Amino acid sequence: MKKILELNPNLFISIGLISMGIGGIWMSYTEEKNLIQLGIFVLGGLLSINGAIIGLIQNRKIIKESKEQ
């Protein structure tokens, strides 16, 4: 768990937004919708949400440490 919280949340958010964009563009330009397109779109959303959660946890730790000093 500590290794995950040490990661940069910006990477998760940016990769998530890129994959959501690719999935959304792919869904809009094809006639047949399939599960892979939806999976890419949902995976991008989950990555973005995970990045935001990691960023919030890191931010809380920084605020706690600054209050203790």
Segment 48-66 shows an average pLDDT of 88
- Name the pTM for this structure: 0.79
Q: Is the pLDDT of residue 2 over 90?
A: no
Report how many domains make up the chain: 1
Residue 9: CA count within 13 A, CB half-sphere: 14
User: Which one, of 45, 2, 41, 7, lies nearest residue 24 by Cα?
Assistant: 41
pLDDT category at 53 given cuts 50, 70, 90 is very high
Domain that holds residue 24: 2-68
